[in-house]
Structure 1
Amino acid sequence: MIKRLFFVLAVALLFLGSCRKDFSNIQVKQEQSVLFTSKITGQVQTRMSGTQWDEKDSISIFMYQGEALTAGNVIPVGFNKQFITQRNGNFSPKTSADAIDFPKDKQVKFVAFYPFQRRSDLQRELNISNQQQQATIDYMIGHSANAMGYQQGPVQLNFGRLMAKIQVRVKGAGINAVNAKISSLRTEAIFQIDQSQLTPRQVSKDVEGKVLATGLETVIEWVIFPGKLSGQSVMVFTSNKGDRYTWEIGKLATDYVRGNRYQYSIDLTDDGTVDPNPTVSYMELPVISNSADLEYNFKMTPDRSKRNFSMLYDKKNRIAHWVAYPLSGDYLGGQSRTDNWAYDPSFSNFTQPLLSRGFGIGGIDRGHQIPSADRTKNYAENSTTFYYTNMTAQNSSLNQGLWARLENQIRSWARNSGVDTMYVVTGAGIRDGNAPVEYVKDNRGEDVAKPKYYYKALAVKRGQDYYTIGFYVENKAAQASAHFNSYRMTVAELERKTGHRFFPGLPEATKSMINNAIWR
């Protein structure tokens, strides 16, 4: 009996020891294995956005050691491995053969490419001649933020889009369906992953757009390579009645920027002509930068009835580089300032300055980028202008003097007869040449970038034409008698000074002049 008991105990101990050994091996394997999370920056191009993908979307993964990926420093066991996601942006190896382990003695980085292509080099063939499955041509490149080592957890991949998008919304009397082609569109390119360089080939075709919706308005899209279309490119519309309309889109000479969407409203008229109106998603949106530290955010009004404002927010420096918004009678009313200071629910609190008590520095205000007085329709809309993401460290006399007078004038221009909507971009520049970024402290003692200058870019449509103007002011005290007209410039000049591209749907000629009859 005793022998039998000892035998049972021995078997049990052996079994438990085996289980512990197996469990330990599983843990070690999990710690060694490379897994990924992901985020897509820039405007929405297809159903892939932020951390949302489709099930079974797959990417190519390259693991390397050093500052930049080259053919010589790719680690062979991490060359072009296929990883897939279950919609949530978390990527794992498709098969056991695709699994990658962290090297025990090396710090490594990663580059990813979407979509996965099984190749033995760092070059990818891109082809956009078929627009009907746009997700497959929404080409993207992803990078890990930092070098990582053994047992350090999932790797964050930050993806940026390589392509631009054109969207047209077409309507016309008696027309309820339209097809469209762009002629002389470049359809092939080579992308060199290690150099992040896209080189279009001299191959051009007539490419039919993808029809997203029909009815009173037809929506058609093309994913295109960045850059300018051929000057000979035309967009040809064919209605359900068989009528053909031609728009010489190539003559716009628009420089389409990767990661951005360009939208046009098209009226097909009875006399057979095309009347295009650029809206570029929303007319006020500048070209959006792709960066791990910058996040584009679009806000509807709290009641979801209309768009409110957009911003390009710098989570590292806790400041919006710009805030863009429409201004019209739809947003103006009798609501007074709510002073409802609060965190912006669109961002983590830890990426925002805490400014419930202001900056606590004499001569520095919590300067709004979208003014409180530009959202006075109701309490809820006005409250959104008091989000901390909309605040900047602005010189008090500037904020309460010259800048306030300029904002009053903009509201006056928006109310002028014949003006439907004023499009406004307000920005705060934190870098000027090689000068270092200056910081002030928030209520937690955290650093917040202090702007070196402010600017406004304005566009308005009167009749069939758009008119633009820009303003640029240093973040320092201005003379009490100073007039904002002393700080005006063309939008084209403002682009050169700030490095941003405003109203990308408008021709350069429109952005290179100021019509004094409009801006008086």
Structure 2
Amino acid sequence: MKQNLFRMTSLALLGTLAFSCSKEELVAPQPTTTAQTSAATATRDGNLALGNPSGAITDAAQYWNYLLVKPQYTLSYHRDRGTPNWVSWHLSSAWLGSAARQDDFRADNTLPAGWYQVLASSYSGSGFDRGHNCPSADRTGSISDNSATFLMSNMIPQAPRNNQQTWASLENYCRTLAGQGNELYIIMGQYGKGGTGSAGYFTTINSGRVTVPNRIWKVIVVLPNGTGDAARVSSSTRVIAVDTPNDNGLSTSWGSYRTSVDAIEQATGYNLLSAVSSTVQSTIESRIDSGPTQ
């Protein structure tokens, strides 16, 4: 009897131990894995992702604010000035490649029928450069991308020193930022009438068909590569706003012409960055950038 009781007790203890071991296996902690992070891949995103500054539409009746949409950039065109009011484009390393500069300046035949088309020769002898809004060097991913930047609807009469030095320096800096893993939303425009080129002061060229702007501006929103860009713009996002005179004697340092987005809006009547939340806009649009310039 005692031997049977001893066997039963031993079996019970062994069962308990087996059950305990089984429970420990079920709840044993799993090995933890370390999260892997990598820089977001650069992409080509919408050129109007942060808003349509003037509410431009593709309606010939609205000749002073006609929307032209290209794969490479989007713009508002003014028929009677013969220039864009503004041009908006996205820049990231996805747009950059090895395509050569095409230099194929030409009229934009996508303008409405009956509108005067500014020609490649329309600026000849004026003392003003055919100044790109969306730069040739921002669109080197393919020959067609680069060629699109030479349409005359992407040009303004720009003082040579402004175009070749001050503005070129700012454009180079934007591409440097893109090469550092950022994507940029850029809007360039002009306002006023009358500028000073290498041949002096003029209000119009091309027999009055092309207006020479008085001021040339640019707004640049800098974000790390990612998605959902308008929603990612925050009060700490870097926004660079520049407003320069269209004058051949201006400084070569673009940083000295920094201003606020609010000031450009007041001068132009546009609503810039309208796709960004109004709370964020109130902060970033009132601030003047003080970051590096090269």
1:498 aligns with 2:268: yes
The structure-2 alpha-carbon separation of the partners of 1:377 and 1:353, relative to structure 1 and needing over 3 Å to count, comes to same
The alpha-carbon deviation at position 431 of structure 1 amounts to 4.4
The structure-2 alpha-carbon separation of the partners of 1:335 and 1:281, relative to structure 1 and needing over 3 Å to count, comes to closer
**Which of 208, 214, 217 does residue 452 from structure 1 map onto?**
214
CA-to-aligned-CA distance 1:224-270 (integer Å, 9 cap, x gap): xxxxxxxxxxxxxxxxxxxxxxxxxxxxxxxxxxxxxxxxxxxxxxx
1:477 aligns with 2:239: no
1:32-47 aligned within 5 A? none
The residue aligned with 1:127 is: none
Scaled by the length of structure 2, what TM-score is found? 0.69
Aligned residues: 225
Give the residue type in structure 2 aligned to 1:429.
Answer: Y
The residue aligned with 1:513 is: 287
The alpha-carbon deviation at position 379 of structure 1 amounts to 0.7
The structure-2 alpha-carbon separation of the partners of 1:317 and 1:516, relative to structure 1 and needing over 3 Å to count, comes to closer
Structure 2: state its 5+ residue gaps: 1-45, 195-201, 227-231
The residue aligned with 1:406 is: 170
Structure 2 Cα separation of the partners of residues 280 and 319 of structure 1: 19
Other structure's SS at 1:330 match: helix
The residue aligned with 2:14 is: none
Give the residue type in structure 2 aligned to 1:456.
Answer: K
Scaled by the length of structure 1, what TM-score is found? 0.40
The alpha-carbon deviation at position 457 of structure 1 amounts to 0.7
Residue range with higher mean Cα deviation, 396-405 or 354-363: 354-363
Structure 2 Cα separation of the partners of residues 357 and 397 of structure 1: 20
The residue aligned with 2:30 is: none
1:209-224 aligned within 5 A? none
Give the residue type in structure 1 aligned to 2:219.
Answer: A
Indicate the percent of aligned positions where both proteins have the same amino acid.
26
CA-to-aligned-CA distance 1:28-52 (integer Å, 9 cap, x gap): xxxxxxxxxxxxxxxxxxxxxxxxx
Structure 1 Cα separation of the partners of residues 168 and 51 of structure 2: 21
Give the residue type in structure 2 aligned to 1:288.
Answer: G
The residue aligned with 2:67 is: 296
Higher helix share: 2
Contact 1:322 1:426 in 2 (8 A): yes
The residue aligned with 2:37 is: none
Give the residue type in structure 2 aligned to 1:282.
Answer: A
The structure-2 alpha-carbon separation of the partners of 1:460 and 1:285, relative to structure 1 and needing over 3 Å to count, comes to farther
Structure 1: state its 5+ residue gaps: 1-278, 301-307
Contact 2:243 2:259 in 1 (8 A): yes
The alpha-carbon deviation at position 483 of structure 1 amounts to 0.8
Larger radius of gyration: 2
The alpha-carbon deviation at position 297 of structure 1 amounts to 1.7
Give the residue type in structure 2 aligned to 1:438.
Answer: T
1:395 aligns with 2:165: no
Structure 2 Cα separation of the partners of residues 345 and 324 of structure 1: 20
1:344-493 aligned within 5 A? 344-348=108-112, 350-417=114-181, 419=182, 421-431=183-193, 438-441=203-206, 445=207, 447-462=209-224, 464=232, 465=234, 466-479=237-250, 482-493=252-263
Higher relative contact order (CA 8 A, sep 6+): 2
Other structure's SS at 2:190 match: strand
The residue aligned with 2:107 is: 343
Contact 1:402 1:478 in 2 (8 A): no
Give the residue type in structure 2 aligned to 1:371.
Answer: P
Structure 2 Cα separation of the partners of residues 456 and 344 of structure 1: 23
The alpha-carbon deviation at position 430 of structure 1 amounts to 3.4
The alpha-carbon deviation at position 362 of structure 1 amounts to 4.7
